A = this chain, B = another copy of it.
């Protein structure tokens, strides 16, 4: 075990899409655990869209990462030293240790995972934040009913691919949008989507929704925002439920984009739009992990991962994910 800890820190705040120069690779000593603490050697790091928001100076849904601070993020690794009564050397744990090779923790935000049930990377994806986001954010807010039509934007992302499968488990018709023909084919052939369209080439979204959701939209799980959401709003059925998981089309803008005012659509269709952060259901995570794990074992939920090797490639992995170049849940392996 090396006694140096490599860390990716925030070197500068991007305007628009981040670049590798926004990050610095620095070294520091591996920390020693104090009483009630443990140290984890990270073996897998998640990169996720929300991290883009943390790079801005202004408050988003949590505080920004300070310049010079380690980038935040979810990770899985093994305990290598412990003075914490609940964690022993060799335990496999999930924790928000961020973009570094060793993390120090007092137990806050951490939980043990079973490395024999699924590979570590799964606890960053289908059995981690994206899986829990799909499970709670779709089922609790959209409350899908058999026969409902569900539309998912950003459907080929780590969360969207799972939402479609949850919709099928609940007897819905499910349609998605994604940014390449290959992703659309993946949604239909592997994720059980009934239909999908490429939003970059099929740009009349209202017409496309009319074609693929001929009975209107009952549930909308939105990762993207912008013009696709506009089109869904004018395609709603009465009492539709919209779960706002992300607004990735808006994250890299210098200032808020203008769009047509469409609140009237919620009024005339008596529909509900609700934003959420998965942490709201923190106390129910064990339920979500157990149920998603069972569906994975039963073959009802499939997942795809896009794993890049090497901690030094964290910024690269993050940026390609923001550009939509990943195929499945993007993570980095030590």
| Chain A interface residues (CB < 8 Å from chain B) | 60-61, 222, 225-226, 229, 244-247, 250, 256-277, 280
Contacts and interface: CB of A to CB of B under 8 A. Distances in A.
A226 B244 CA distance: 21
A274 B273 contact: yes
Contacts of A262: 256
Contact of A229 (B225, B244, B263): B263
Contacts of A265: 275
9 contacts: A61-B268, A61-B270, A225-B261, A226-B261, A244-B266, A246-B267, A250-B263, A258-B260, A268-B275
A269 B263 contact: no
Contacts of A222: 263
A164 to B, nearest CB: 21
B271 A247 contact: no
B280 A275 contact: no
A269 B275 CA distance: 7
A265 B257 CA distance: 13
Contacts of A60: 268
Nearest to A262: B256
B277 A263 contact: no
A113 to B, nearest CB: 26
A270 B276 contact: yes
B261 A256 contact: yes
Nearest to A265: B275
A142 to B, nearest CB: 13
B270 A272 contact: no
Contacts of A264: 225, 247, 250
- Which of A257, A267, A274, A280 is the most central at the interface, judged by chain B CB atoms within 10 Å of its CB? A267
A273 B242 CA distance: 10
Nearest to A257: B261
Nearest to A279: B270
Nearest to A255: B260
Given A274-B266, A274-B273, A275-B271, A257 B256 contact: no
A75 to B, nearest CB: 24
A278 to B, nearest CB: 10
Contacts of A266: 244, 273-275
A256 to B, nearest CB: 4
Contact of A280 (B247, B270, B276): B270
B260 A256 contact: yes
Contact of A259 (B245, B259, B267): B259
Contacts of A257: 260-261
A244 B265 CA distance: 10
